[in-house]
Amino acid sequence: MKLIHAGHIIPVRPANVVWSDHCVVVDKDLVKGIIPFAEAVETWPEAEITELPDHVLIPGLINTHTHSPMTLLRGYADDLDLHVWLKDHIWPAEKKFVGPEFVADGTRLAVAEMIRSGVTCFNDMYFFPETTIDVCLDAGMRASVGIPIIDMETAWASDINSYVEKGLRLYDRMKAEPLISFTLSPHAPYTVSDEILNRISVLSAEHNFPVHMHVLETEWEIKQSQQQHNLHPLTRLEHAGLLDSRLLAVHMTQLSADDIVKLASAGVHVVHCPQSNLKLASGICPLTALVEAGVNVALGTDGAASNNDLDLLAEGQTAALLAKGISGDAEAVNAFEVIEMMTINGARALGLDDRVGSIEAGKQADLCALNMRSPETQPLHHVISQLVYAASTRQVSDVWVAGKQLLEGGELTTIDLDAVMESARKWHSRLAWLERQLVSEGKEQQSES
């Protein structure tokens, strides 16, 4: 038995509660309960005790949308339009380098960054998901791993049948692994045909897979859909039977009032990635209207190539401030609602809310501690507000996943950080070489024309 005794505990459920001088009782991988510390010591006098007197203990954060290997493309192409960024920089780099080595090194860098920032579960969309799983299991990290689906040949699969068959084989092999869950992850409506959307809908219903997809990220997407299909993207998804409670619609910056009503009625989950959307000038997700309509909204960072970090705490602060500024209402999207978006809402979207997302008896002991004894978070008048509006990931000191400590006193316990940094330097050299090649080819084409 372990007792984690913190100055303050925010369990998330029950809502808007802060416990002081309590401890979380952990039995192996599970939370046994939250009780006053004096009572816990009397009940379990032989228990291992972790003392965190200056800390706030919260559920581990859930990053509900990532492309984890893209940490290796952090800063590779910035200050560009989304489609220029993708077509002229990101896709050529991926075409050249994406494979098991790239995915392993990039995911390991991402997992190290996320653990150090309090994330205990992430929802990933990328190629070679089997490699992502291997890295997560080595590190003890929880992950919802996407089965990638896109209507083009890639290094991982040649066609739709190959994507689906490889994904289902991986699912069958790993579905009993307690730290790993799965989604179907078609890239976006504009990169999959109607036939593929229909097939994804059938697979989702058969296996109860969540469907994790970029939707309504830019205004261009709507124009393209009207030109090619004579339908709005949401209508295409509705016709395919995908507009339901299994859909995690990522970005959603181009929503009308009618769209929001439709989403709420269908039980669709929205994954808000404010910093990536702002940086790529894609648009702004109407967070306040979604919350008021009762839509479950979770938070994601997107990939580090477009964010440029995996700092979910900063994402939450941006979401709150942006919602207030856009709505003109200082009471819109309060601090506790942001904490829910970073924890229980993400768990709910992924179908994991019976296991993670709050500190409750019977749930997995996925926990994060932040040291609030810092000039930036003193005096500590209101713990919840300070956590959202003032705290930073530099204050994350300890992280547990399924009761196993992955960060202790700010130090990673399952990842060799020096090795991770060395692999990042290696990839920097390779990618810098490619960028020089692309620039040279571009100059040659200009001179020829």
Domain boundaries, the chain: 2-58+366-412, 61-349
Query: Distance from first CA to last CA of the chain, Å, rounded?
Result: 72
Choose among 344, 400, 409, 341: nearest CA to 367. 400
Query: What are the pLDDT digits (tens) for 7-50?
Result: 999 999 999 999 999 999 999 999 999 999 999 999 999 999 99
Single-letter amino acid code for the residue at 203: L
Question: What pLDDT does 449 receive?
Answer: 52
d(CA 333, CA 325): 11
Q: pLDDT per residue over 240-256, tens digit each?
A: 999 999 999 999 999 99
Half-sphere exposure of 426 (CA within 13 A, CB side): 12
On whether the pTM is more than 0.85, the answer is: yes
Assess contact for 296 and 345: CB atoms under 8 A. yes
Query: Which of 8, 4, 115 has its CA nearest to residue 387?
Result: 8
Which residues in the chain land under pLDDT 70?
439-449
Question: What is the model's pLDDT at position 446?
Answer: 53
Residue 188: the pLDDT is 97
CATH topology of domain 2-58+366-412: Urease, subunit C; domain 1 (2.30.40)
pLDDT score at 444: 57
306, two tokens: 């477009």
Structure tokens at 186: 């078609």
Q: Which residues pair with 48 in a beta bridge?
A: 2
CATH architecture type of domain 61-349: Alpha-Beta Barrel (3.20)
Q: What tokens appear for 223 in the block?
A: 């124009």
pLDDT at res. 82: 81
Whether 72 and 427 have beta carbons less than 8 Å apart is answered as yes
Query: Residue 60 carries which DSSP code?
Result: P
Nearest-angstrom CA–CA distance, 26 and 365: 7
